[in-house]
Amino acid sequence: MDSLPSLRTLNNVNVWRERNDEDGEPLSPVARLFHQPGSNVYIVAIMGSKIKLQPDVIKPILIHALLKHPRFSSLQVEDKHSGELKWIPTEVDIENHVIVPELDPNMDGADKFVEDYLSNLSKTNIPNSKPLWDIHLLNVKTSEAEALIIYRIHHSIGDGMSLMALILAHSRQVSDPSLLPTLPVMNKKPNLLNLKGFRFVYILWNTLVAIFVFVLTAFFLKDTQTPLKGPAGVELKPRRFIRRTLNLQDFKLVKNALHCTINDVVLGVTQAGLSRYLNRRYGELQKYNGVTGQEKEKNYLPNNIRLRATFFFNLRASTKINAAGVICHNIFFNTTLWFSNVPGPQEEVSLYGHQMAFPACSCYGQPNALMIHVISYTDKITFVLSVDEDTIPDPYSLCDDLEESLKLIKAAAVPS
């Protein structure tokens, strides 16, 4: 990270644990998948603060909030006999994990600076000689926040939902500091065994088809090679992280008009936005074929495009992980993008005593050129894009397409 400013660290605070390699707990199968070639994935969580950060206040809270969690105070060490990775408790020096760059808080181009800072982080890995996480405190004013807290956590420590839950467990409602944040509650889905007739057959058939396609994807079925699909080795390239915040009320209006869910609207906006982006990119490829300005809304999309997103669950009990690592890498690489959707707090919250302006999460190290993460907070929904700029050189245009798609869907579903 040569392009980052000089860093200073916090005062030395140590947490000691007795080390016993034989008593180490093995990593779960999914945790070990994230150490396989092509799957070295890090989670990046950005928390905007409405006030300047006070490192001396945050530091002792972090000791209580994170270092008491075994995974944040353990090394991942290969067992000498079995070769398997284990969690080994270790002495943690907070100075090596909390980084506070000395910055001009009122610098020009702060938003671009933060983008570059995050992109530079994606060029590096955390050494295995310490627990695989760090936190960066940036006291720089951007267009949406007075300062930023940036978490970088290896995906083997936990998934996005569990890490977000851990962070929010140490936040409180601004209106009542004695209360934890509240998250939207999903309506309970009917049990498959309680369904009857055609609906049961319909869900069962779709499930079987999805499993069949999943197996084919693991071995040879690839998405169409589009301008969104990255080349082999894309997981090794740096990322650009872009955010676009939209009004949650617009999603609710569409949801109520169409009698669907917020997730349905989010997926519809995402699909429409990707279609608009691809249509423009394919149109640009044909710009030398006599296309006029009047034809710019023409459909240039090829027929029968296969474009899918990927997510996965830890259902595998076997401890042998090498073959599974190859299969998972194939699944990720053979699809076009990663997609994640996480509900956030419904009210404004404070984190470590600092009122939050926004949360945003994403990843780097995944074998896809594009990841879209969607998170809600109070009355807003934020789309966070993690892109390989060689594949997607204009990520802001993709954000514009997502925003425009929401406007078009809202106009069609809720006529004025």
Domain co-membership, 45 together with 89: yes
Domain co-membership, 146 together with 39: yes
The H or E element containing residue 243 is strand 240-247
List the structure tokens of 177. Answer: 């500091």
Residue where a domain terminates, one of 140, 173, 206 = 173
Is 69 among the catalytic positions?
A: no
* Alpha-carbon gap, residue 393 to 141, rounded angstroms: 26
Domain count, the chain: 2
Tell me if 180 is assigned to some domain.
no
Candidates 35, 136, 154, 155; catalytic one? 155
Tell me if 253 is assigned to some domain.
yes
Q: How many CB atoms lie within 10 A of CB 71?
A: 22
Domain co-membership, 151 together with 30: yes
Domain co-membership, 222 together with 322: yes
* Alpha-carbon gap, residue 237 to 230, rounded angstroms: 10
Which range of residues forms the domain containing residue 94?
7-173
CATH number of domain containing 159: 3.30.559.10
Domain co-membership, 210 together with 131: no
Q: Which of 349, 402, 335, 352 is nearest to 378 (CA)?
A: 349
Tell me if 331 is assigned to some domain.
yes
Show pLDDT as tens, one digit a residue, over the chain (416 residues).
444 443 333 343 344 444 444 568 898 888 888 888 778 999 999 999 999 999 999 988 888 888 888 999 999 998 888 888 999 999 888 889 999 999 998 899 999 999 999 999 999 999 999 999 999 999 999 999 999 999 999 999 988 888 888 888 889 999 999 999 988 776 665 555 555 667 778 777 878 887 777 677 666 667 677 888 889 899 999 999 999 999 999 999 999 999 999 999 999 999 999 999 998 988 876 664 555 544 555 777 666 666 655 554 433 333 344 444 444 555 665 678 888 888 899 999 999 999 999 999 999 999 899 999 999 999 999 999 999 999 999 999 999 999 999 999 999 998 87
Query: pTM for this one?
Result: 0.83
Tell me if 398 is assigned to some domain.
yes
User: 197-211: string of b/e by CB count within 10 Å (b at 16+)?
Assistant: eeeeeeeeeeeeeee
Domain co-membership, 144 together with 259: no
